[in-house]
Amino acid sequence: MKKMLLLALTMVLVFSGLGDATAEMRKVKVGTEGAYPPFNYIDSKGNLVGFDVDIAKALCKAANFDCTFVVRDWDGIIPGLLAKKYDAIIASMNITEEREKVVDFTDKYYQTPAKFVAKEGAKFEITREGLAGKKVAVQRATIQENYLRAYFDKCDIRVYATQDEASADLVSGRVDLFMSDSVALLEGFLKKPAGAGFEFIGPSFFDKKYLGRGAGIAIRKGEKELVSAFNEALEKIRADGTYKMINNKYFDFDVYGD
């Protein structure tokens, strides 16, 4: 009889523990843009998809978070975090000194350079003087816009709300060049029908001051536990092959970088 009572008590404790573990699963809202293919975008069925989205889901699973997504325009994405509309930004946001003044970041989860694209055969000289007066498209409130204003300030900088709007004006001839992340340009433009007849021009840019140290997850200042949890989850998915599987779904190279 005592053994039966002990077994029953043990089962109650076990199932109570499982219930507590489920109850303790932290709810985390993830902010992203939804207009930056192949990293985050809305597909033809209206679903939020992309590399950032898959990485976010994998990180949330590894950290035992119950995550939901909030789509926000890029130029309002940090204000949305500060206003507690969501708890983290996973949207290809590069880690820069300027942004670190207002938010904290996790370790990087990928790193790619910035580049220009132009019509095939264009003979632009990619220097401050060489691009003087040339119309250059760039997405608003991005590291690439900051970089252009710092080093190519003699060109005619045209800012756009989204990558698609910028590339559309390049195709129509309203601008001469378009600067953005190299992978976003390759996968989101050059490999698409609209990108036919266009190519990369000039060198890759890695300037840490303006272009940052890779894309990280932005968290509100002071939330060290959340930063640590995401960092531990990142280490886990890189070690167990999950990161590589997601990488290979979107790219034929290692997007993590050096």
List the domain boundaries for the chain: 25-111+213-250, 114-211
Parallel/antiparallel/unpaired status of strands 156-160 and 135-139: parallel
Closest CA to 74 of 88, 86, 91, 99: 91
Q: DSSP per residue over 237-248, as a string?
A: HHHSSHHHHHHH
Determine contact, residues 243/249, Cβ cutoff 8 Å. no
**What's residue 7's pLDDT?**
42
- Taking the chain (258 residues) in runs of 10, the rounded mean pLDDT of each run is 43 42 79 97 97 98 98 97 98 97 98 98 97 98 97 98 97 98 96 97 96 97 98 98 98 94
Q: Hey, is 24 helix, strand or coil?
A: coil
Q: Is the peptide bond before 79 cis (omega within 30 degrees of 0)?
A: no
- The pTM of the full predicted model, rounded to 2 decimals, is 0.86
Q: For domain 114-211, give the fold.
A: D-Maltodextrin-Binding Protein; domain 2 (3.40.190)
Domain 25-111+213-250: top CATH class: alpha beta
In this chain, the answer to whether the domains covering 25-111+213-250 and 114-211 adopt an identical fold is yes
Closest CA to 33 of 99, 84, 86, 101: 86
**What's residue 24's pLDDT?**
75
